[in-house]
Amino acid sequence: MLWRGRKRRDNDGSGSPPDRWFTLFGLVVVRRTDLLAAAAFVLSLSTISYQLWQFARGARPAIYHPDTVYVFFDKYANGVVATRVAGQISFTNGGEPGQNAIVRDVSVAMTVAGRTIEEYWLSFATVTRKNIELSFDIKESAHPIVVPGGGASSYMITFSPRVKTCAAEHEAKTCEQAGDFVSDTEFLKLLSPDGRIVLRFVGTIFGSRPMLESTCIVTTTQDLIRTLAKNDWYAARCASDKPA
């Protein structure tokens, strides 16, 4: 039974609580059954509090860079050759089931020898190789994707530079509309043995201001430079910039 501290007469005529008792949230627990009921009450209260806390946190998406990055030279219909990248991008959502996150878009900033090249997702694809030929079989154009609460998803994404919009007057003087279209010869000149290429992948989420980020680093070896120059592509290991 629960004793609330009211005066009552026991067999001994006193108004004190029984000998074996303790208080819980202002209530006095006096029997074993009351102890089990109190434990169930505390467990229920903690479960509800945890569920409310998880609900308040909402979706918790994260982005992970590819372990292997494909750097390749792509020739456009107008004859322009541009340096592009592709890789398997993964997403997770630490939210509860039903708390989905929608990835709006993904971009990558590739920095080499002090120059940054920005590219944006273009398509979801599969990679095939025949001898020294590498090709990306386009499955569909890149579009917003859903990452379910408590789930994960992964996509092979190809990235491509875009023509910049130099709308502001103060930007027009310094803005290069085709500045992210870097040719094969120009890109190869930026590379040096024992150098590095830093790739920063950024994802934006509908309804969320913070952006998802993941950065990895490719070490530019002599083999990378020679193979890229010969075959027009190279599959490079991209190591995380954060210690494991």
DSSP annotation of 26 reads T
DSSP-derived 3-state class of residue 39: helix
Same domain, 67 and 187: yes
Of the three residues 57, 84, 104, the one that is the final residue of a domain is 57
How far is 106 from 149, CA to CA, in rounded Å?
19
Same domain, 104 and 12: no
Percent of the chain scoring above 90 in pLDDT: 63
Same domain, 66 and 41: no
More confident residue, 125 or 210: 125
Same domain, 95 and 32: no
Could you report the per-residue pLDDT of 128-171, keeping only the tens digit for each? 998 889 999 999 999 999 999 999 999 999 999 999 887 765 55
Cβ–Cβ < 8 Å for 70, 234: yes
Cβ–Cβ < 8 Å for 232, 184: yes
Paired strand residues for 91:
63, 153
Tokens of 50: 């945890």
- CATH number of residue 105's parent domain: 2.60.40
Tokens of 70: 């494909």
Could you report the per-residue pLDDT of 91-132, keeping only the tens digit for each? 999 998 889 999 999 999 999 999 999 999 999 999 999 888
Same domain, 113 and 226: yes
Same domain, 78 and 143: yes
Same domain, 114 and 25: no
- Return the exposure string of 159-194: e unless at least 16 CB atoms fall within 10 Å of the residue's CB, then b: bbbeeeeeeeeeeeeeeeeebbbbebeebeebbeee
Of the three residues 41, 57, 73, the one that is the final residue of a domain is 57
DSSP annotation of 100 reads -
Q: Which of 64, 231, 217 is nearest to 154 (CA)?
A: 64
Same domain, 228 and 195: yes
**Rounded (10°) CA dihedral 25, 29, 33, 35:** 50
| Residues in Cβ contact with 76 at an 8 Å cutoff, skipping those fewer than 6 apart | 82
Cβ–Cβ < 8 Å for 62, 94: yes
Residue 32: which domain range?
2-57
Q: DSSP for 172-238, please give it.
A: HTT--TTTT---HHHHHHH--TTEEEEEEEEEEETTEEEEEEEEEEEEE-HHHHHHHHHHSEEEEE-
Percent of the chain scoring above 70 in pLDDT: 73
Could you report the per-residue pLDDT of 161-203, keeping only the tens digit for each? 999 887 765 555 678 888 999 999 999 999 999 999 999 999 9
Same domain, 104 and 21: no
102 CB neighbour count, 10 Å cutoff: 15
Same domain, 188 and 78: yes
65 CB neighbour count, 10 Å cutoff: 22
pLDDT for the residue numbered 158: 98
**pTM for this model (two decimals):** 0.75
How far is 145 from 126, CA to CA, in rounded Å?
17
Same domain, 214 and 101: yes
